[in-house]
Amino acid sequence: MIRVGIVGYGNLGRSLEALIDLEENMELVKIFTRRDPSSIDNSRMESLDNILDYKGKIDVMVLALGSATDIPEMGPKITEHFNTVDSFDTHAKIPEYFAEMDKISKENNLVSFISTGWDPGLFSLNRMIAESILPRGNTNTFWGKGVSQGHSDAVRRIAGVKNAIQYTIPKQEIIDEIYNVERSLKSYETHLREVFVVAEEGANQEDIRNEIVTMKNYFDEYETIVNFISEEEFEREHTGMPHGGHVIRVGETPNGKEIYKLSLELDSNPDFTASVNVACIRACQRFFENNNFGSHTVLDTPPVYYASNNINLLNKYL
Amino acid sequence: MIRVGIVGYGNLGRSLEALIDLEENMELVKIFTRRDPSSIDNSRMESLDNILDYKGKIDVMVLALGSATDIPEMGPKITEHFNTVDSFDTHAKIPEYFAEMDKISKENNLVSFISTGWDPGLFSLNRMIAESILPRGNTNTFWGKGVSQGHSDAVRRIAGVKNAIQYTIPKQEIIDEIYNVERSLKSYETHLREVFVVAEEGANQEDIRNEIVTMKNYFDEYETIVNFISEEEFEREHTGMPHGGHVIRVGETPNGKEIYKLSLELDSNPDFTASVNVACIRACQRFFENNNFGSHTVLDTPPVYYASNNINLLNKYL
């Protein structure tokens, strides 16, 4: 039985709670929050201030926190006392974050499994495996159709925008013709962005549209579609959290091309990310039991570590 | 530099030769054959009788041999003296084969990486990872469109058949509707078989067709299409070795269904199998260097072991 704690109670935290409760070999001990725990109708909430009271009572702590500031600030502090699993997803900062977490975990004979989820995570794993098998070729990653939280936030900050959501959409015509794509394309070549905006009354839609499509780093390089909709339509059509994507490697071998493609089609992005987190809780615990302290990622994890039990795997999967 | 030997020189052996020659960090030392080496126009051929002369001169031996009798007979003998990589693919006998190879490798402080390729191999790995992440759901494996050597052989043994090839074809309408498939289907529910036959002159085509479609274990449960074609058409259209397939898991999570799908589209089945073998040569050597002796499979191999080098993997893939 692995005793688990969750830090954070947003969409990811709630998915984790539901999934851990379904695991026969895990027990959810507490969910830690910076809010007043009594303000949340859930008997397992606990103040983050009391987290150290749970040393020795929780085996693995899952950090269901944002990557912008929360994980970089709180991860190192928590990993000093607990084994941790996180979904840190600021790709450019992962090596630096790994180094910091690795040092602290090792000093404390603990394990931190970082940057799990699907990208980084499963997609990273498949990019590496595909390139190891097919070293000559090109890899393209497609994201979506799904919501980009960062782009949605950026649009919501525009004057006159009451609410907004942004979908990243891979160009299907490129995926269909991937056999003939000879290089790793830029993200703006392979995706379009579609925005649904609820405008404030009296706001100038053309001004909003212009501000969106010219926004540096976010939209300016992309083909962008802006739709203005009513608040009712927004609530009815745009509150789900579907996502997905593809990692596709086209490899050259002596007798042709070989295509390796991993695809995800997700009804619920937080449920799937949490599902990967749960498999990584098992892996984290196994690294710990093997005294393999420090930071780990999907790249160095023996796949059996994810399995819910290790019985008869050869019979079952090979 | 990993010094490699190949045992066997059929389609797989030839693909391996071409691919190993492209690897900067591998040197192909010899290709061992049971035939008279001088009968083959290739300066690297060597008689299998002399294999023991290469102890200490070859780091990893790849067994490019058939699974029916060759690998079970020769694998244990070779793994007594060399690290080995094989593609043993008789699924039902893998646990038994693993146990035998594991014992011998361990006794000799060597490594045997068994049952690599794509199924068993990559597909096994993805079945296990997908089920670990999404423990509630169902997995279906689709093979093809591609040639089944066993089924082609079975048809060629029928009286009046001059030549024949059999393609296994997954039912696309099931793949397209996989979201709504609620169980692991039987192979005969998800595939059809298409046979192209060159009949002997004067042979009765209806008799041949009947013998094919009623053949127990091979065709009787399947929807089977039999085409009679000319020898010219056979040579023109049916000598390539394309293959591929999908592993698809549909997982249930609290807020919906999540689809995990690995797909391969291969121009050359032997080239791709050999490509996986080459990645496994690296892994085999790394297990050996870490004194992690005995048998290994894709299920227990840290993915970094496949990479051609370990530099900056976090930057590159996460």
Q: ipTM > 0.90? A: yes
pLDDT tens, position by position, A37-77: 999 999 999 999 999 999 999 999 999 999 989 999 999 99
- Could you say which residues from 147 to 186 on chain A have a Cβ atom under 8 Å away from some Cβ of chain B? 179
* Closest CA–CA distance from residue A157 to any residue of chain B (Å): 29
Mean pLDDT of chain B, nearest integer = 96
Touching A: B residues 194-223, CB under 8 Å: none
- Residue B185's pLDDT is 96
Whether B149 shows a pLDDT value over 90: the answer reads: no
pLDDT digits (tens, 9 = 90+) for B237-256: 998 899 999 999 999 999 99
Residue pLDDT, tens place only, A80-126: 999 999 999 999 999 999 999 999 999 999 999 999 999 999 999 99
What ranges do the domains of chain B cover? 2-117+270-317, 122-267
Of the pLDDT bands very low, low, confident and very high (cuts 50, 70, 90), residue A237 is: very high
Q: For testing the chain B interface, which of A94, A112, A122, A255 should be mutated: the one with the most B CBs within 10 Å?
A: A255
> Is any Cβ of chain A less than 8 angstroms from the Cβ of B18?
yes
The residue among A177, A181, A258 with the most chain B CBs within 10 A of its CB, best to mutate, is: A258
Residue B180: its pLDDT value, please?
Answer: 95
Q: How confident is the model at residue B309 (pLDDT cuts 50, 70, 90)?
A: confident
Query: Could you report the per-residue pLDDT of A1-30, keeping only the tens digit for each?
Result: 999 999 999 999 999 999 999 999 999 999
| Contact map slice: A 31-90 vs B, CB within 8 A | none
Contact A98/B282, CB-based, under 8 Å?
no
How far A48 CA sits from the closest chain B CA (Å)?
26
CATH of B2-117+270-317, one of 3.40.50.1580, 3.40.50.720, 3.30.9.10, 1.10.10.10: 3.40.50.720
pLDDT band at B68 (very low <50, low <70, confident <90, very high): confident
**DSSP per position, A195-238:** EEEEEPTT--HHHHHHHHHT-TTTTTTSEEEEEE--HHHHHHHS
Q: For the residues A174-184, what does the mean pLDDT come to?
A: 95
Task: State the average pLDDT for chain A.
Answer: 96
A256 contact residues in B (CB cutoff 8 A)? 242, 266-268, 271
Contacts of A12 in chain B (CB under 8 A): none
The minimal CB distance from B18 to the residues A254, A275, A303 is found for: A254
A310 has pLDDT over 80: no
C-alpha B284 chain-centroid distance: 17
CB contact under 8 A, B297 and A276: no
CATH number 3.30.360.10 given to B122-267:
yes
pLDDT at B311: 80
More confident residue, B68 or A82: A82
Q: How far apart are alpha carbons B297 and A302 in whole angstroms?
A: 10
Residue B310's pLDDT band, with cuts at 50, 70 and 90, is confident
Q: Does residue A136 have a pLDDT over 80? A: yes
Taking residues A283-291, report their average pLDDT.
98
Residues of chain A neighbouring B86 (CB-CB closer than 8 A): none
Across the interface, whether the CB atoms of A267 and B257 are under 8 A apart is answered yes
Q: What is each CA distance from A228 to A198, A204, A209, B178, B207, in whole angstroms?
A: 6, 11, 9, 34, 67
B2-117+270-317 and B122-267, same CATH topology: no
CB-based contact B253 A272, cutoff 8 Å = yes
Tell me the chain A residues in contact with residue B312 when contact means C-beta distances shorter than 8 Å. 95
- Per-residue pLDDT at B80: 98
Q: Is B311 on the interface with A (CB under 8 A)?
A: no
Average pLDDT of span A270-285: 98
Q: In what order do the strands lie in the sheet with B60-63?
A: B45-47, B26-33, B2-7, B60-63, B83-86, B111-113, B294-296
Per DSSP, B257 falls in state E
Interchain CB distance below 8 Å, B258 and A275: yes
Q: Which residues of B244-259 are buried (b: 16+ CB within 10 A; e: fewer)?
A: bbbbbbbbbbbbbbbb
CA angle B157, B160, B166 (to 5 degrees): 50
pLDDT recorded at residue A309: 82
Q: State pLDDT tens for residues B277-298.
A: 999 999 999 999 999 999 999 9
User: Cβ contact (<8 Å) for B300 and A301?
Assistant: no
A99 vs chain B: nearest CA distance in angstroms? 11
SS3 content of chain B, % helix, strand, coil (to 5): 40, 30, 30
CB contact under 8 A, A254 and B15: yes
- Residue environment code for A60-70, b if the CB has 16+ CB neighbours within 10 A, otherwise e: bbbbbbbbeeb
CA–CA min distance B45, chain A (Å): 20
For B103-126, what is the mean pLDDT? 97
Cα separation, A294 vs A111, in Å, equals 5
pTM for this model (two decimals): 0.95
Q: For residue B253, give the nearest of A127, A271, A315 by CB distance.
A: A271
Those of residues 252-281 in A touching chain B at CB distance below 8 A are 253-268, 270-272, 274-276, 278-279
- For range A209-218, the mean pLDDT: 96
